[in-house]
Amino acid sequence: MKTQSPDTSVKAERVLVELIRHAPISKRFKLVQSMTQGTILANIHAWKENHPEASEQEAGIHFVSMTYGSQLAQQAQADLEACETWHLQPGNLLTIISDLAKTFDAFNIPWYLGGSIASSIYGMQQLAQDIDLIVDLSTQHIPLFIPSLKQHYIFDERAIQKAKDKKTSFSILHRNSFTKVDIILGDTCMFSSSRKPGIDRQTLDEQYPDIPVASPYEMILFKLYRYYQDKVSCQDGMINDAEWNDIMGMLKVQAPFLDFSLLDQWIEHLGIRDTWKLVLIDTGLKEA
């Protein structure tokens, strides 16, 4: 079995995997929340200490630029220039998700949580670079929910319509915390016929309503197929080890609860048999 980190022994990792398996989903999410919130604040404050002449707003814009790109940073800067007062606040992932859920539910827009938060609660816990929401957004929904977003989010309205037309995704930035949310349009997803029955409402925090989360099947298949595509198209031989570790983490933790015959059917359908065999070997679920 290949461990998640080279300096971790197989024995130690097996103990860790067992601890994660027995930990409630809420405890796993709490760790993700803590790592994410702490890292964002630490990065912004560290830059501010090295640039004492800069304002809190400038420090925040620098963080957005370095983490999410110049385009979103420019939008944030233009937005904050119109604000009389602005202070960075700790970003509570679940508060942001729940507030967006109210907007989606108010307009009967189907949605669920995916991305690194979902893979973290199913596998090894990690920093969430952003929040990924898979949303079945129709053209009729767009003018309805945009006004609700403007109160707390920075975004480009044209990007929303463009994403809908091209069946891609768009990003919105939570104004107070600079937490990025990626809205992935439902009709861009490959596994629509397999994912919906597997979506379950998870208790991420007892103080909040339960959240619909992608199934571990979807997360494993989606990330494995994306890894395969990246490897095929890679020109420089650089492989995303973080993505591979993410897949391995989910398989190690979820192995006793997965229907591998169901996964095998999708592996065959997606044409990624060799990649699947390799990850099974690396996770110790198959002999080399």
pLDDT digits (tens), the chain, 288 positions: 899 888 999 999 999 999 999 999 999 999 999 999 888 889 998 999 999 999 999 999 999 999 999 999 999 999 998 887 888 888 899 999 999 999 999 999 999 999 999 999 999 999 998 999 999 988 888 988 899 999 999 999 999 999 998 889 999 999 999 999 999 997 555 555 444 447 889 999 999 999 999 999 999 999 999 999 888 887 666 677 889 999 999 999 999 999 999 999 999 999 999 999 999 999 999 886
Give the DSSP letter of residue 7.
Answer: T
Read off the tokens for 261.
Answer: 């015959």
Which pLDDT does position 194 carry in this prediction?
46
- Spatial strand order of the sheet with 200-202 comes to 153-154, 169-174, 180-185, 131-135, 111-114, 211-213, 200-202
Q: What is the pLDDT of residue 187?
A: 58
Tokens of 14: 């097996």
The structure's pTM equals: 0.91
Q: Are 218 and 191 in contact (CB under 8 A)?
A: yes
